[in-house]
Structure 1
Amino acid sequence: MMKTNAPKTNAGNFFEDYRIGQILTHAVPRTVKMGERALYHALYPARHALYSSDKFAQDCGLPFSPLDDMIAFHVVFGKSVPDVSLNAVANLGYAQGRWLLPVWPGDTLRSESEVIGLKENSNGKTGVLYVRTTGLNQHDQPVMEYVRWVMVRKRDTSAPAPETVVPPLTDAIKATDLVIPEGLDFTSYNFALSGEAHRMADYDIGEKIDHIDGVTIEEAEHMMATRLWQNTAKVHFDTSARPDGTRLIYGGHVISMARALSFNGLANAQMVVGLNGGAHANPCLAGDTIRAWSEVLDKAETSAPGVGAIRLRLVATKGGEAFALRSEDGKYLPTVLLDLDYWALMPL
């Protein structure tokens, strides 16, 4: 009897492959160490003190400096790409994200996702997939979780549309639901070493901050970053994957660049602990110069000594006037790349 060899390669999932409640266990756990930090700080102008100095972190009540919050996000996100967004047209947004535990050098991260929503688009060629992704460490402890939704191609346009399920998503995480790292204490916070004197009391709700600096994105650095996070989405590497023949800059690269640029004006917004919502408003391509501005949306005290939570809108742009976000019809301006709503921890 002749043996028939089954395909060994994986073309990724398409929209009709998903079902509500499906659990996707993502392959290849990754141990993260100081190399990831060094590369992260080389790729982005990241210099928040808590992630740069063991001594500064110890003076803030931690055993030593954890890895940057966005390293955890990128690694957990990257694990999910082969199962969630390998055949994506675009990553559309985020919600209900929480950092649950610090990630320390030497931790091993893996991730899994649950399908929580499906909605076929009217063109019958694509659909929107909603997943809740959880990152876990080597002790099977959740280190972070978030919801994201992504537009995915259909393999067979004649495949019947699934029942539409759009999950209910809150506008923002309550400050009381944020997880504060054990031992964090800002009562002896060193403002001289952090880079700015501004504490949470110095910021007013509604205040807007122009972060001034800009960084021009190049092909080489964005592809290095995307490989670093083991993100295999075709649109970031293969020019034939997009009709215009360009490589789309990974949205997380824009997030980290904007977060790093926000240091100028928000140097003491040390730890990102909540992701309320986010949208990649327009594509970012090589040659675009990213600038950023922030708006203070809310403030709250926490149970940790001297630690406050500040809710911020972070907007990344590729030109245009500072603080400009939407046109008169309510749509994002074509210069807006990212609109991100997050909670950070800051000295009171």
Structure 2
Amino acid sequence: MKTNPGRFFEDYRLGQVIEHAVPRTVSGGERALYHALYPARHALCSSDQFAQSCGLSASPIDDLAAFHVVFGKTVPDISLNAVANLGYAEGRFLTPVFPGDTLRSTSEVIGLKENSNGKTGVVYVRSRGINQRDEVVMEYVRWVMVRKRDLSAAAPETVVPDLKPALTVDDLHIPEGLDFTNYDFTLAGEPHRWGDYAISETIDHVDGVTIEEAEHMMATRLWQNTAKVHFDLTFRPEGRLIYGGHVISLARALSFNGLANAQMIAGINAGAHANPCFAGDTVKAWSEVLDKAQTDAPGVGAIRLRLVATKGGAPFALKGEDGRYLPHVLLDLDYWALIPM
């Protein structure tokens, strides 16, 4: 058989390293399409002149656009037969991605756990994006619920990796040359700097975006994400599941209103796609400041944020008394961003 049905749960082995196919050279086209799909407006990823005034050689591709390219490479080998992508941890953005860079991806299986129903299992992988100079541009852990092909296949030994609950500021990589001492707050769009945010402060980002089927299909094709749940209308009875990264990018773009100066994502501490999202849902977002830290880079501070995407419901409501996410919550993402001091 020459076609590839994708891996099922019993096809994974602890320690297995998978080199993903189809490297991709990114261009300004990725930036233009990313900004067309999402209301992305952070100045550092929009203007070469602004980026150069902050010590970079040019404006990098949006961090999440680079993430989607790397993620998309992994889908045919990791989540083609997934029921759902469950979470993220230990995500680090190590080198900015610029137009002209070529990215490829690798993944290592670091954990396996069959579910009690015997029909699915959870696969934990550490994935890395690598550029044409063999530099790791990002790495992250994610875990995915994957179907079994053979329900009688023996369950593997359960191994659940011990992951950091959160990265420290020492785990973060500050891009070489980044300098916010001459930061132009007028061009960035808001006056708020590191010292203006308080731990436990919450921010309602006010705006909303209704997800369109056509935009989601364009996005998943752009990122070469071939997961069946995003393409095949017959694969999930209630409809095509919106790619979780699409929701992350919408929420991050919406967070500009209140966090315009959180210019770069430096790390992902944790993330959960709390409830499924479908076309027609209107995504809104709010943030909570979880922590703050200074860095060694001139004028650059780090701010740890909880970014929550919802489809209605009151802002700042996250979980019920039973500890479960409320039905209107789509995304709970804990991340570090770089912001001027």
Give your verdict on TM over 0.5: yes
- For residues 97 and 154 of structure 1, what CA distance do their matches in structure 2 show? 28
Q: Please, what TM-score do these two structures have when normalized by structure 2?
A: 1.00
Pick from 227, 241, 256: which aligns with 1:263?
A: 256
Pick from 222, 230, 235: which aligns with 1:236?
A: 230
- For residues 159 and 167 of structure 2, what CA distance do their matches in structure 1 show? 22
Tell me by how many angstroms 1:241 deviates.
1.0
Q: What corresponds to 1:272 in structure 2?
A: 265
Unmatched segments (≥5 aa) in structure 1: 1-6
Tell me by how many angstroms 1:222 deviates.
0.3
In the alignment, is residue 254 of structure 1 matched against residue 247 of structure 2?
Answer: yes
**Offset from partner CA, 1:197-232 (integer Å, 9 cap, x none):** 000100000000000000000100001000000000
Tell me by how many angstroms 1:71 deviates.
1.0
Amino acid corresponding to residue 289 of structure 1 in structure 2: T
Amino acid corresponding to residue 89 of structure 2 in structure 1: A
Q: What corresponds to 2:125 in structure 1?
A: 131
Sequence identity of aligned pairs in percent? 78
In the alignment, is residue 201 of structure 1 matched against residue 160 of structure 2?
Answer: no
- For residues 330 and 258 of structure 2, what CA distance do their matches in structure 1 show? 20
* Poorly superposed stretches of 4+, deviation over 4 Å: none
**Offset from partner CA, 1:164-218 (integer Å, 9 cap, x none):** 0000011101101100000000000000010000001000000000000000001
- For residues 59 and 238 of structure 1, what CA distance do their matches in structure 2 show? 45
Tell me by how many angstroms 1:243 deviates.
3.0
Q: What corresponds to 1:3 in structure 2?
A: none
In the alignment, is residue 144 of structure 1 matched against residue 125 of structure 2?
Answer: no
Q: Secondary structure at the match of 1:239?
A: coil
**Offset from partner CA, 1:102-156 (integer Å, 9 cap, x none):** 0010000000000000000000000000000000001111000000000000000
Pick from 95, 102, 108: which aligns with 1:108?
A: 102
**Offset from partner CA, 1:253-282 (integer Å, 9 cap, x none):** 000000000000000000001000000000
- For residues 57 and 273 of structure 2, what CA distance do their matches in structure 1 show? 36
**Offset from partner CA, 1:38-74 (integer Å, 9 cap, x none):** 0000000000000010010010011110110001100
Q: What corresponds to 1:292 in structure 2?
A: 285
Q: Where does 1:68-79 land on structure 2 (aligned, <5 Å)?
A: 68-79=62-73
- For residues 216 and 237 of structure 2, what CA distance do their matches in structure 1 show? 20
In the alignment, is residue 174 of structure 1 matched against residue 168 of structure 2?
Answer: yes
Q: Secondary structure at the match of 1:90?
A: strand
In the alignment, is residue 185 of structure 1 matched against residue 157 of structure 2?
Answer: no
Q: What corresponds to 2:332 in structure 1?
A: 339
Q: Please, what TM-score do these two structures have when normalized by structure 1?
A: 0.98
- For residues 98 and 43 of structure 2, what CA distance do their matches in structure 1 show? 16
Pick from 294, 302, 320: which aligns with 2:313?
A: 320
Q: Secondary structure at the match of 1:241?
A: coil
Unmatched segments (≥5 aa) in structure 2: none
Amino acid corresponding to residue 38 of structure 2 in structure 1: Y
- For residues 335 and 134 of structure 1, what CA distance do their matches in structure 2 show? 32
Aligned residues: CA RMSD: 0.4
- For residues 150 and 117 of structure 1, what CA distance do their matches in structure 2 show? 11
Question: What count of residue pairs does the alignment treat as equivalent?
Answer: 341
In the alignment, is residue 36 of structure 1 matched against residue 30 of structure 2?
Answer: yes
Amino acid corresponding to residue 287 of structure 1 in structure 2: G
- For residues 138 and 279 of structure 1, what CA distance do their matches in structure 2 show? 31
